[in-house]
Each structure stands twice: as C-alpha cells, then as structure tokens.
C-alpha cells in the first residue's frame, strides 16, 4: 500500500509562494506518495506569536488541524518550519498528557472535532532527507544539479531537540547529505545556523532588528560566493527573498542571491523545468544548470 500524508499547506506557501506547493505536490507524486487534502484547515497557528499570548487557544487551534489530518487516516506532512514546530509540539503534548487532551477535546467538541493524537507530524525535509534519503532519491533523479549552495536550516526544524530528535541541531548533516545527492556543491559560511530574522514576531514587530539579522547572514553568504540559498521553510524563504530587496533599498547593499526551497530543487532534479524561480523577488532571471543522467 502506498504511503499517504495529509498535506498541511500553512499560510505563506499557498498565498506567497505557490511554486513551493506545486513542486511539493510534483515531488510527492513522483515518489508515489498519496496526498490527502486537509479540508477546512486553518493557520497552524504560528508558534512564535500566538503561543506567547494565549497558549490554550494556540493548542486548540493546532489540535483542530491535527483532528482534520487524523480524519484522513494519514500522518500530517508540513512544508514549513513554523507549522512543523507548532503541530509537532502540540501533537507531542497531547500524546503524553491525557488530562490536557481531555481539556482540549472538550473545547474542540464545540467546533465539531475530536483529536486522539495517534498519528505523526513530519516535515518534508524529514521525509526527503531521512525516509527517502540521499541514496533513495537517486532512483528518481533525471539530472544532477550544478550549483554552489548555502544551506539555511531555520529555527524550528531541529529544535527543541529533546522532542524531535531528528538530527544534532548544533552539527546536523541531514540537509547536507540530501542536497549533495542532488549534485549540489555545498559551501559553509559564518552564522549558518543563526535565525534569518523572520520568526518569533521579529519581522512583524521589529523590522529593523529583523533586517539586521538578515543582513549579517547575507553578508556571510555573499562573502563565500554562494550561488543560491537552499532552505526548507516558506517563511525563511520570504525573509531571504523580499528581505534582500529591503536591505538593498534601505542600506544601499547589492544582495542578489536567489533562494530555493528543498521541494523546488528536488522537482528540478526530477526533471521539472518550471519551479517558479522567475516569480520570486530576487534574481528572477536566475537559471539552474544541470547534467542530464
């Protein structure tokens, strides 16, 4: 029986970067993974903002999404670090606290939902990087990418480690191994594991601080000559894509490094030419190069 997932779209991907969604669907289809739509799903909601002000409502809103995935009879799959952070952590809490689950379900009942927390929450990078893996993905590749790339993990994929235990957050290799299998030449850089400056309400509430954090990362990425930034999160993607323009306009910099999501690069390596880079803010004329297999 084919693997299936309830695909959680989140907010930014379908609204700002639909190419990440379309390439995710393309990749999953090529891998033989069935997608089950999550009808009436809402915002995850974001861990860095909503949880800080109202944790009970944050958990109920997340639990409603978990209930929708459960009704599909398939584990939930996210494409965003923030969505992954919220949905994974709430699912974990409900699995391990029966009283909490009882309280949450009492509130969900008013909305017509019920959650058992009997399934898993996974990130697309986890499915590609570990479940399929760098060796498994090679069976699906049509070409090897020729690219010097700088990886950005983001904050919520690997942390908190004591809950997720995906990879060492201080010295991970999951993305390195995977992108190398696609043909990418990876370039290390200063502040590789630092925040991009988008999450935790920083971009929305303190844009100056957000741009300062982004500027430090962009300077480090630029000085090593990376041709592209490789990420796994639409919100980080938004920060790198539109944030470079903001930095250039505000400070007179000349950053022009395209950002490519893991789904986009995988789809390209699988043979898809249109992965949506031309619709992005930064370097819309950037063309990926590859060697056909």
Domain 4-123 architecture: Up-down Bundle (1.20)
- 116-169 residue pLDDT tens: 999 999 999 999 999 999 999 999 999 999 999 999 999 999 999 999 999 999
Which part of the chain has CATH 3.40.50.11810? Answer: 133-292
Token digits of residue 259: 């950002």
Residue 11 pLDDT class (50, 70, 90 cuts) = very high
Task: Give me the residue label for tokens 């957000």.
Answer: 210
pLDDT at 229 over 90: yes
Contact 77, 37 (CB under 8 A): no
Token digits of residue 33: 């993974």
CATH of domain 133-292: 3.40.50.11810
Contact 169, 85 (CB under 8 A): no
Beta bridge partners of 231: 261
Q: What share of the chain is helix, strand, coil (3-state, %, to 5)?
A: 50, 15, 40
Spatial distance between the Cα atoms of 116 and 268, rounded to a whole number of angstroms? 38
User: How high is the pLDDT of residue 52?
Assistant: 72
Contact 119, 52 (CB under 8 A): no
């Amino acid at each position: 029986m084919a693997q299936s997932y309830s695909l959680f779209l989140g907010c930014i991907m379908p609204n700002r970067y639909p190419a990440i969604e379309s390439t995710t669907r393309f990749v999953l289809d090529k891998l033989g993974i069935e997608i089950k739509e999550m009808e009436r799903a809402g915002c995850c909601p974001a861990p860095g903002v909503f949880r800080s002000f109202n944790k009970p409502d944050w958990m109920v809103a997340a639990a409603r999404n978990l209930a929708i995935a459960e009704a599909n009879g398939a584990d939930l799959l996210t494409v965003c670090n923030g969505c992954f952070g919220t949905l994974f952590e709430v699912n974990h809490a409900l699995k391990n606290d029966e009283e909490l689950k009882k309280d949450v379900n009492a509130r969900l009942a008013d909305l017509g939902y019920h959650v058992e927390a009997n399934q898993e929450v996974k990130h697309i990078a986890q499915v590609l990087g570990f479940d399929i893996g760098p060796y498994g993905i090679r069976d699906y590749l049509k070409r090897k990418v020729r690219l010097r790339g700088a990886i950005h993990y983001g904050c919520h994929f690997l942390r908190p480690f004591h809950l997720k235990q995906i990879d060492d957050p201080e010295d991970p290799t999951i993305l390195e191994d995977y992108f190398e299998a696609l043909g990418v030449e990876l370039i290390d850089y200063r502040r590789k594991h630092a925040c991009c400056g988008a999450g935790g309400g920083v971009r929305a509430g303190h844009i100056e601080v957000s741009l300062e954090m982004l500027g430090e990362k962009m300077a480090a990425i630029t000085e090593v000559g990376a041709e592209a930034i490789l990420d796994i999160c639409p919100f980080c993607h938004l920060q790198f894509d539109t944030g470079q323009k903001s930095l250039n306009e505000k400070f007179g910099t000349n950053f022009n490094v395209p950002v490519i999501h893991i789904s986009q690069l995988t789809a390209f390596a699988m043979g898809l030419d249109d992965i949506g880079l031309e619709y992005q803010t930064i370097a819309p004329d950037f063309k990926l190069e590859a060697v056909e297999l």
